[in-house]
Amino acid sequence: MQLFDSHAHLLDEKFTADFDEVMTNVNDHMALVMNVGCNLDDCRRTVRLAEQYDKIYAAVALHPNDANDFTDDLWQEICTLAAHDKVKAIGETGLDYYWDDAAPDVQKVLFIKHIDLARTLNKPLIIHDRDAHQDTIDLLKNQKAETIGGVFHSFSGSWEMAKIVLKMNFYISLSGPVTFKNANKLLEVAQNVPLDRLLIETDCPYMTPVPHRGKRNEPMYVRHIAEKIAELRGISPEEVAQATYENGKRLYRI
């Protein structure tokens, strides 16, 4: 299967102990992995990782939960890293109202900076939206982000919301929760998103899909998400893998 994990955090400390083994699994089972940096150190190391491994590409940003860490110097370095050849997206950026690490207004200012950076560099956005659906959509619309495009990662909205996201020129990326028993509204999304606008991801080390739920997640488990979507749509897992692989390459311009 031609698997592209469109969103991973391989530099999380949960991978430290067996990093080489995880990378062997990537080499053996994966076509491509987009690794996402969330803070300055993570972004620096993500770019280095992408330089080391052919199959790894990078995205850089300051995560909305870390918005209070913003300084001009930090931002300057993120902008420099973002221009690197193997950095193919700006993210993850957006709004997170689940954790109250940073005030919504502080998150919004940072989000807009990332949108401007994506526009300047002509690279797509990776959107993090947790419990902030309406504000995320409103802000993207106000900033005319449809001219940039990108992906709503680990999408958690309804099919109604997905239609708005698709209209705004964004892709939908599904992760572990689509395999959970309580997936409910995500099943409708998985069935109805046009196959050429769908991505799959692990968001590892979190969001582990069934049948590994409860354990640490890793890129090769993205296969289970492809299988679940295939089952819901009545097509083969290979078909889902191939389509999402091509979509990822198109979106990230790989």
Q: What is the binding site for Zn ion (CB under 5 A)? A: 203
Q: Is residue 5 helix, strand or coil? A: strand
Count Cβ atoms within 10 A of the Cβ of residue 171 and give its class: 0-12 exposed, 13-18 middle, 19 or more buried.
Answer: buried
Sheet holding 56-60, edge to edge: 4-8, 32-36, 56-60, 87-96, 125-130, 150-152, 170-174, 198-200
Residue 147 beta carbon to Zn ion: minimum distance, rounded to whole angstroms: 24
Specify the residue, 126 or 232, whose C-beta has the smaller distance to Zn ion: 126
Residue 182 beta carbon to Zn ion: minimum distance, rounded to whole angstroms: 21
- The two three-digit tokens of residue 204, written as one number: 């590892």
Residue 175 beta carbon to Zn ion: minimum distance, rounded to whole angstroms: 9
Contact (CB, 8 A) for 251 and 9: no
Specify the residue, 66 or 203, whose C-beta has the smaller distance to Zn ion: 203
Indicate the residue whose CB is closest to Zn ion.
203
* Residue whose tokens read 């990378």: 23
Residue 132 beta carbon to Zn ion: minimum distance, rounded to whole angstroms: 15
Specify the residue, 201 or 227, whose C-beta has the smaller distance to Zn ion: 201
Specify the residue, 7 or 108, whose C-beta has the smaller distance to Zn ion: 7
